[in-house]
């Protein structure tokens, strides 16, 4: 972007088409405005991934535990990317909550931020200059009160602005599961 801001849309656990046929409009519109999209796995099928890539921005993604063999063969288990001066690692399952932040710091020592999914529970935890982020799910909220995604903005010389955003209910059976 011309003002030096990098915008990153973060989603996970879309489980399409099982939990929803399409991403909620609010999520899709925000992703279209991003410079980069990160998906932390559990697309379910290749058509869902193709639909995500068709939104426009580059996509960094990993496979999740419910992704089919085709996606497991095509996508890595972990990924690392630099965007807007932020070093981001991506993994689907970051393991148990106890000790998670320290465990992810050890596993990805060069990262400023680790994005993960799997639990569908939105989480942002920070310690010093390191953070872990689970965006929740825009399509399968399970027992969470709202569908969610995350949004990151980086500006040179400032800490990243990271937010978990509630989304309108996409309808169509994406409730508790």
The CATH number that applies at residue 10 is: 3.60.21.10
Q: Is the pLDDT of residue 38 over 70?
A: yes
The total number of structural domains in the chain stands at 1
For residue 59, being part of any structural domain is answered with: yes
Task: Judge whether 172 lies within some domain.
Answer: no
Gyration radius from the chain CA atoms: 15
Q: Given a cut of 50, is residue 36 above it in pLDDT?
A: yes
Decide if 57 is inside a domain. yes
Is 1 contained in some domain? no
Residue 19 has pLDDT above 90, yes or no: no
175 belongs to a structural domain: no
In this structure, is residue 177 part of a structural domain?
no
88 by DSSP, 3-state: which? Answer: strand
Residues of the domain holding 19: 6-167
**Confidence band for 2, pLDDT divided at 50, 70 and 90:** low
pLDDT value at position 20?
78
Using one digit for the tens of pLDDT, what is the confidence trace for 100-156? 999 999 999 999 999 999 999 999 999 988 999 999 999 888 888 899 999 999 998
pLDDT of 174 higher than 70 = no
* Cα(94)–Cα(34) distance, integer angstroms: 25
The position carrying tokens 């209910």 is 169
- Degrees (nearest 5) of the Cα angle 146, 93, 137? 20
Average pLDDT over residues 2-14: 90
For residue 48, is it within any domain?
yes
Residue with tokens 């969610």: 148
- 20 in any annotated domain: yes
pLDDT at 156: 85
For residue 93, give the nearest of 144, 57, 58, 42 by alpha carbon: 42
């Amino acid at each position: 972007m011309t003002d030096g801001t990098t915008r990153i849309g973060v989603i996970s656990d879309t489980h399409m088409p099982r939990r929803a046929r399409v991403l909620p409009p609010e999520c899709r519109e925000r992703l279209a405005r991003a410079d980069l999209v990160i998906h932390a796995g559990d697309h379910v099928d290749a058509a869902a991934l193709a639909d995500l890539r068709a939104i426009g921005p580059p996509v960094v993604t990993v496979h999740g535990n419910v992704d089919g063999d085709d996606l497991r063969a095509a996508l890595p288990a972990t990924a690392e990317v630099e965007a807007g001066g932020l070093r981001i690692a991506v993994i689907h399952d970051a393991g148990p909550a106890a000790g998670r932040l320290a465990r992810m710091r050890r596993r990805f020592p060069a990262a400023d931020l680790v994005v993960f999914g799997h639990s569908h529970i939105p989480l942002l935890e920070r310690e010093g200059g390191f953070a872990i982020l689970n965006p929740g799910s825009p399509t399968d909220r399970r027992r969470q009160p709202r569908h969610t995604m995350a949004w990151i903005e980086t500006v040179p010389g400032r800490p990243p602005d990271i937010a978990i955003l509630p989304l309108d209910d996409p309808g169509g059976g994406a409730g508790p599961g």
